[in-house]
Amino acid sequence: MNADRESVLILRLGAIGDVLMLLPAVHALHLRGARIDWVCGTVVAPWLAMYPWINRIQVDEQQLFHAGRAGQAKALLALWRQLAGRRYTLCAVMQYDRRYRLLSSVVRARRTLHLDKNLRSRQLIEGRWHANEYARVLGLAPDDFHDWNVRLVRPEQQNIPELAPATWGVQLNPGRRVALVPAGAKNVLREGALRRWPIANYVTLAQELLASGYEVVLTGAEGDAWVRDHFGEVLHLTGVWDCIGQTSLPQLLALYDTCEAVITHDTGSLHVAATSNAKVLAIFGPTTMGNFLPRRAGVKGIWGGERLPCRPCYDGRDFAACPRNACMEETTVPRVMAELQALLA
């Protein structure tokens, strides 16, 4: 490694949304000439592979967190063997949990930093767009960006396998396709069901979209297959495409590029959609819209529960005890349809 060149080790395994919000700041470091190594999890690795300037160092996060002590030790030692002896000008652990610092303990770095809720300079300030905050924590300034409302970075290189099924390339109504994200809101450590807009609303919304002449695409990961039981006969209607569990993250980006709009709640697919060419309508409730709503034209958020004193209730890790996510339920299907029409007008 060239000793005169800045070298940066980023440690951020997931979740998808956080990785995509961190990418603009890391991209700015790359544009300044830094070599970028990134310790990432298996879920986000295919996305980071589309950025040729990122050297991926992959760790199996399922094994690291859920395989018992023997499995965890095996995953940790495998990562340490890849990192041992490496030297960096900066090692940035972009996670709050102190346990993540152990992952990079074998490297030598001239400067280290990590997220810390006890230090204002090292925490993501509530209400601020997290992409801006990641840039600030990494020491970047407004001059490092064209716009200080930092934009997500679309991949430079897309080696994307053909989408399955093959009929994705044929639209019944070109330019009239809307993707829905009815599940998600979970990562390797925990699930945030309170972030989700009620599944019954997504079913009704799909029917309303079909009646308005749109094709409807259902998207999600393999673990989101449970939503199919809720859609029932809707899945068999002409113009409804079930893509749940059928796409990698790069393929999901390509799929969203074929859509006029994507409707989602606060989950990783929101940020994938915001990186695409589609319009995006995002529904928020217990999380702060200012933290997570991407900044670009064609992206709009609805923050339900304006009258509720308990909103927001998410502290970056957990939600307050809640018998039902009333803040999400207050956003109705007619309102979403109206906001969509305004967004597409």
Tell me the pLDDT tens digit for each residue of 158-168: 666 555 554 55
Percent of the residues in the chain that have a pLDDT greater than 90, as a whole number? 62
**Strand 108-114 with 54-59, pairing:** unpaired
CA pair distance 161, 212, nearest whole angstrom: 32
| Alpha-helical runs (H) found in 162-240 | 199-211, 228-231
CA pair distance 202, 335, nearest whole angstrom: 13
Residue 206 located in a structural domain: yes
Q: What is the pLDDT of residues 121-144, one digit of tens each?
A: 999 998 899 999 999 999 987 777
258 and 187 together in one domain: yes
Report helix, strand or coil for 217. strand
117 and 170 together in one domain: no
Residue 223 located in a structural domain: yes
The domain boundary, picked from 144, 176, 211, lies at: 144
Q: What is the dihedral of CA 114, 117, 118, 119, to 10 degrees?
A: 60
| Total domains, the chain | 2
Task: Produce one character per residue of 81-99: b if its CB has 16 or more CB atoms within 10 Å, e if not.
Answer: eebeebebebbbbbbeeee
Which of 1, 12, 13, 23 is closest to 253 using CA atoms?
A: 23
264 and 295 together in one domain: yes
Residue 159 located in a structural domain: no
94 and 49 together in one domain: yes
pLDDT at site 4: 65
Return the structure tokens found at 56. Answer: 């991926």
Would the CA dihedral through 75, 79, 84, 89 be positive or negative? Answer: negative
Q: What is the pLDDT of residues 35-72, one digit of tens each?
A: 999 999 998 999 999 999 999 999 988 888 777 888 88
102 and 188 together in one domain: no
Residue 158 located in a structural domain: no
Q: What is the pLDDT of residues 245-300, one digit of tens each?
A: 988 899 999 899 989 999 999 999 999 999 999 999 999 999 899 999 999 999 99
The domain boundary, picked from 94, 110, 144, lies at: 144
30 and 137 together in one domain: yes
197 and 107 together in one domain: no
CA pair distance 237, 328, nearest whole angstrom: 27
92 and 201 together in one domain: no
CATH number at residue 34: 3.40.50.2000
CA pair distance 178, 149, nearest whole angstrom: 27
CA pair distance 3, 186, nearest whole angstrom: 40
Residue 161 located in a structural domain: no
46 and 103 together in one domain: yes
Residue 137 located in a structural domain: yes
Return the structure tokens found at 135. Answer: 């840039």
Return the structure tokens found at 298. Answer: 């064609």
Side-by-side strand order, sheet with 299-303: 240-242, 215-218, 177-181, 261-265, 279-284, 299-303
Residue 124 located in a structural domain: yes
DSSP symbols for 260-316:
SEEEEESSHHHHHHHHSSSEEEEEESSS-HHHHS--STTEEEEE--TT-TT---B-S
The domain in which residue 218 lies consists of 166-344
Write down the mean pLDDT value for the chain: 88
Report helix, strand or coil for 345. coil
Residue 16 located in a structural domain: yes
30 and 135 together in one domain: yes
Strand partners, 281: 263, 300
Which of 293, 42, 275, 38 is closest to 155 using CA atoms?
A: 275
> Is 178 within 8 Å of 263 (Cβ atoms)?
yes
> Is 286 within 8 Å of 319 (Cβ atoms)?
yes
The domain boundary, picked from 113, 144, 175, lies at: 144
88 and 184 together in one domain: no
Q: How many CB atoms lie within 10 A of CB 334?
A: 11
Give me Rg for the CA atoms of the chain: 20
Strand partners, 87: 108
176 and 105 together in one domain: no
* Chain center to CA of 67: 25
More confident residue, 256 or 309: 256
Average pLDDT, stretch 199-221? Answer: 95
